[in-house]
């Protein structure tokens, strides 16, 4: 068992950074957020480092229930699969969902959407949550969890007033469930199951 709860360290660092960002001037805050953002303009200009920096910054402090859920999901992923696995799925899901959204928006986004601030923990969170479905008992419970999560993530995408972030959440969850399905196929995969 890893003695350092890296998920809690990550969430705490992001939260502390958000509080610090609140105390900066409006222009400096905007400059920093835009510099870390994975918006269409940044990615089209080759600022690929934003695929990492955007996961380290949030626009405002996370609400306590979400922050606790983030810590719980990352913590269980570390417990069940290890810190490296949890970090890899988080970053892979974050980057993959971001690139899928970028690909969809690149040729047709309006100028405001092209330069929108796009930062946060939610894509990685959704990917890890989806991947953790492989820790559930096989059969109806695991299938129901996957279908339920997809339905919850798809609901904002089909409503009026949806945003590209809603589509990104669904994409990230899909990436995570894809990781989970691949993990299910590995024979003899050893991890702690939810029972």
pLDDT per position as a tens digit, 146-156: 999 999 999 99
- What pLDDT is stored for residue 161 in this prediction? 76
Q: Which residues contact 167 (CB under 8 A, 6 or more apart)?
A: 101, 104, 157
- What pLDDT is stored for residue 183 in this prediction? 84
Residues of the chain predicted below pLDDT 50: 187
- What pLDDT is stored for residue 189 in this prediction? 52
Choose among 12, 96, 14, 9: nearest CA to 57: 14
What SS3 state is found at 93?
A: helix
What is the reported pTM?
0.91
Instruction: Answer yes or no: are the C-beta atoms of 135 and 76 closer than 8 Å.
Output: yes
N- to C-terminal Cα distance for the chain?
19
Work out the angle between the directed axes of helices 140-158 and 122-131 (0-180°, nearest 10): 150
- What pLDDT is stored for residue 190 in this prediction? 55
Q: Which two tokens stand for residue 188?
A: 């003899």
Q: Which two tokens stand for residue 87?
A: 């970090």
Distances (CA, A) of 58 to 2, 17, 67, 148, 152: 27, 8, 12, 27, 23
């Amino acid at each position: 068992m890893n003695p350092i709860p890296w998920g809690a360290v990550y969430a705490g660092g992001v939260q502390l950074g958000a509080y610090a960002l609140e105390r900066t001037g409006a222009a400096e805050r905007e400059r920093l957020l835009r510099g870390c953002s994975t918006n269409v303009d940044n990615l089209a200009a080759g600022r690929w480092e934003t695929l990492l920096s955007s996961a380290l910054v949030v626009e405002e402090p996370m609400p306590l229930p979400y922050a606790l859920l983030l810590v719980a999901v990352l913590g269980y992923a570390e417990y069940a699969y290890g810190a490296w696995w949890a970090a890899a799925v988080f970053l892979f899901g974050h980057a993959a969902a971001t690139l899928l959204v970028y690909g969809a928006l690149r040729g047709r986004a309006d100028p405001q959407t092209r330069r929108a601030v796009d930062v946060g923990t939610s894509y990685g969170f959704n990917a890890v949550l989806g991947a953790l479905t492989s820790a559930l008992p096989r059969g109806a419970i695991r299938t129901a969890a996957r279908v339920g999560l997809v339905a919850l993530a798809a609901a904002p995408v089909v409503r009026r007033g949806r945003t590209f972030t809603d589509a990104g959440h669904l994409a990230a969850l899909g990436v995570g469930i894809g990781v989970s399905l691949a993990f299910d196929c590995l024979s003899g995969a050893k991890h702690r199951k939810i029972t």
